[in-house]
Amino acid sequence: MGGGGHLRRPLRGQAAGPAERGVVPGVEGAPGCRVPRRGRLAEHPDPRDEQAGGRPADARRDAHPFPRDGIVVPARVRKASDRVVRYVEAGGVRVSVIGLGTWQFGSTEWGYGSTYATGVAGDIVRRALDLGINLIDTAEIYGLGRSERIVGEAIGGRRSDVFVATKLFPVGLPFMVRWRARASARRLRVDHIELYQQHWASPLFPPRATMPRFRRLIDDGFVGHAGVSNHSLRQWQDCEDALGGPVLSNQVRFSLVSREPDRELVPWAQHNGRIVIAYSPLGQGLLSGRYEVSPPSNFRRFRSDFSAEARARRVPLVAALRDIAGRHRAKPGQVALAWLVNKPNVVAIPGASSVEQLEENAAAADLSLSDDDVQRLDSLSA
């Protein structure tokens, strides 16, 4: 797993200068810290296999729970020693098809309460690692650096289990790329970043000004792979040209209510061995059905796709998700995630407000939709 065999140069623990400490005003880098180097992800036996120490088939069948209002989480998800997600291999890396997005870590606009960042968020990261989720995505701008710090603290001594992905916000001069990458690494408590992504296409500096800076980080072994986020196909290709090599991934809004990546990005990624990382894969809750009747009370209420009219247009799609979920003993959100991650070279990074929600997301990797299911969802979301 990880950075494709690049040599790594340790991050030294010298004091950070002013430019290195600040991503944007108010963001401070954590002290330099060394952690164990990355290793290969251990291969774990299928816990369902009796020969691997699992339970007999009859016991497994009886233990497949239907807890609380129809939420389906396979019994093996409940055991911290079990790994349940699938992996995709592309560009020399091996990442879980279900990752963990941490946009909400350290931010207040999601309305998760004051104790979320100080306790629940770290529990979510640790449980994700228990389940075999190795793709943890964050960004310097999330919570003004707090998300990176929460992730770094939660990883602790489990560095070899994690494919760390973070993002550079397109502000500041290109020469600051190295400083800001090191500031992110200090907050994350790592000496190597597997995937360093440009968060948006810069309105001021073209790829030929920024991508060579990414190339130096890769050549120095400090970064494993370059990635982009919120880039069109043309912008993605321009970044590859400027980097002089593959830009591993493009992280974009992608779900049954945001199908644009299906037109160009996904086919190109599949043909060229790249990865599309889907953020907001549940439409920020739209596809769970929770906003069918009552509107959201947090920042979502200001978005046009959460208006009463927009929610009404989604009623047939949500109804189909519920119907398909019922036949698969799943939840609508799990069906929406399965629709995404069954596409080759596509991984999803849903957020989670609780450990329980994380477990439900992870279980979606086990859900196989029929061709009829996929065609039905495609037609209703076109």
> What is the C-alpha separation between 106 and 264, in angstroms, rounded?
34
Q: What is the token pair recorded at 333?
A: 């959100």
**Are 360 and 73 within 8 A, CB to CB?**
yes
Question: Of 306, 30, 361, which Cα lies nearest the Cα of 191?
Answer: 30
DSSP character string of 292-334:
SSS--SSGGGGSGGGSHHHHHHTHHHHHHHHHHHHHHT--HHH
> What is the C-alpha separation between 10 and 212, in angstroms, rounded?
21
Burial of 157 (0-12, 13-18, 19+ CB in 10 A): exposed
Residue 87 is among the residues annotated as catalytic for this protein: no
Q: Is the dihedral of CA 235, 170, 11, 187 positive or negative?
A: negative
**Are 349 and 99 within 8 A, CB to CB?**
yes
CB-based burial, 207-224: b 16+ in 10 Å, e otherwise: beebbebbbebbeeebbb
Sequence-separated (6 or more) residues with CB below 8 Å from residue 157? 35, 36
> What is the C-alpha separation between 257 and 259, in angstroms, rounded?
6
Tell me 342's DSSP state: T
Q: What is the token pair recorded at 179?
A: 């400083």
- List, in sequence order, every residue forming a beta bridge with 94; answer none if it has no partner: 89
- Catalytic pick from 87, 116, 142, 279? 142
> What is the C-alpha separation between 136 and 194, in angstroms, rounded?
10
Tell me 68's DSSP state: T
> What does residue 229 show for φ and ψ, rounded to 5 degrees?
-145, 140
Q: Which residues are catalytic?
A: 142
